[in-house]
Amino acid sequence: MSLKKGLKQGALQCFKRLPWVYQDSLYYFKKFRRLPNLRSPKDFNEKLLYRKFIYGDYQCYGRRSDKFLVREHVAGIIGDQYLIPLIHETSDPETLLTLPSWNGTVIKPNHGSSMVELLLQEPDDQQKRQIVQRCKDWLKTDFATVGREAHYRYISPRIVVEKCIGDGKSAPIDYKFHMFNKQDGTFDYVLQIIYNRFGSALSMNFYVNNLQEAFHRIRDTGLDIAPKLDALSQALSLSKQLASDFDYVRVDWYIEEDRVWFGELTFTPGAGLVTGLEKGLSRMMGDMWIQNRPESADKLRPVVHIPTTLESA
């Protein structure tokens, strides 16, 4: 090993030993060329980091981020007709081999993101075995350490198999409502639409407190949401019900024809390092967020209890 490579690996190991709040402060500086203000957070990402490290109901965030357990919660508030049909759930990936068909399914763990198998055709036996092994690896993944998000350690990992929503040819469009509770029964919101997910370049459009005129577009390829306005209005109304207990949460939806399907609840999008919030959008979203900040938490002392395992939570 060269001296340069050895020094680099040593520095990385030292960095990984730092408390998570310091790691994220350095990641933040690398992305945005300034350190985050956690004493008096102003923009959206700063407030996400405050939630991650200074104050938040992490056990609750864990329960609501659990892609399996959240189904019962959602059904109790808005009804189970908005839940994507559940085909299978298990802590033993070998049981996937008993499924009569894998075509048109989505296989994913319940305790993280960016771990997913979208199956638009029936895999052969070898491919099934590879997916089973991938699921076993997912179950061993401590997703809390990936983005330094403590609430994911309160989720007992399982594998979930759901029906694939969409045309069966490509990944469905994501409709993400960032819901900001104004504490008076009303909400500000930002609708973030993500599409062309598996294309040459990811596209995103942002709508601020309206569904007609985009505030900001990133690599837009001419997406027309006019035919989806009724469904989006319904998703917005349902999002307000699901967000009523939180000062901020992101509520994700899919739309198939005119039917809305619940996706997930997210409490720390992008692990507090969200890019693409240009044209002042990051500060605008920060201003929308009336963040609960108990006086004792404003001493800038990380108070997050990070269990070493689920059992110690």
- Kindly state the tokens that stand for 187: 């909400």
- Quick one: angle between helices 44-53 and 20-32, nearest 10? 170
Q: What integer best gives the mean pLDDT of the chain? A: 91
Which of the given ranges, 7-11, 18-22, 173-177, 300-304, has the highest pLDDT on average? 173-177
pLDDT at 312 over 50: no
Statement: residue 14 has pLDDT above 90: no
Rounded to an integer, what distance in angstroms lies between the CA atom of residue 171 and that of residue 151? Answer: 28
Query: How confident is the model over 24-57, as pLDDT tens digits?
Result: 999 999 999 999 999 999 999 999 999 999 999 9
Checking if the pLDDT of 177 tops 50, the result is: yes
Flag whether pLDDT at 242 surpasses 70. Answer: yes
Per-residue model confidence (pLDDT) at position 313? 45
CB atoms within 10 A of CB 253: 25
- Whole-angstrom CA distances from 79 to 187, 191, 243, 278 are 21, 22, 15, 36
Q: Is 104 helix (H, G, I), strand (E, B) or coil?
A: coil
State yes or no: pLDDT of 11 exceeds 80. no
- Return d(Cα 173, Cα 46) in angstroms, integer: 28
Q: Give the whole-number percent of the chain exceeding pLDDT 90.
A: 81
Distance CA 297, CA 56 (A): 10
Give the integer Cα–Cα distance in Å for 71 and 37.
36
pLDDT mean over 266-287: 96
pTM score of the predicted model: 0.91
CATH of domain 18-83+170-313: 3.30.470.20
Can you tell me the distance from the alpha carbon of 88 to that of 105, in angstroms, rounded to the nearest whole number?
A: 10
* DSSP strands (E only) in the chain: 86-90, 105-109, 117-119, 159-163, 174-181, 187-195, 203-208, 216-218, 248-256, 259-266
pLDDT higher than 90, residue 231: yes
The domains of the chain are located at: 18-83+170-313, 84-163
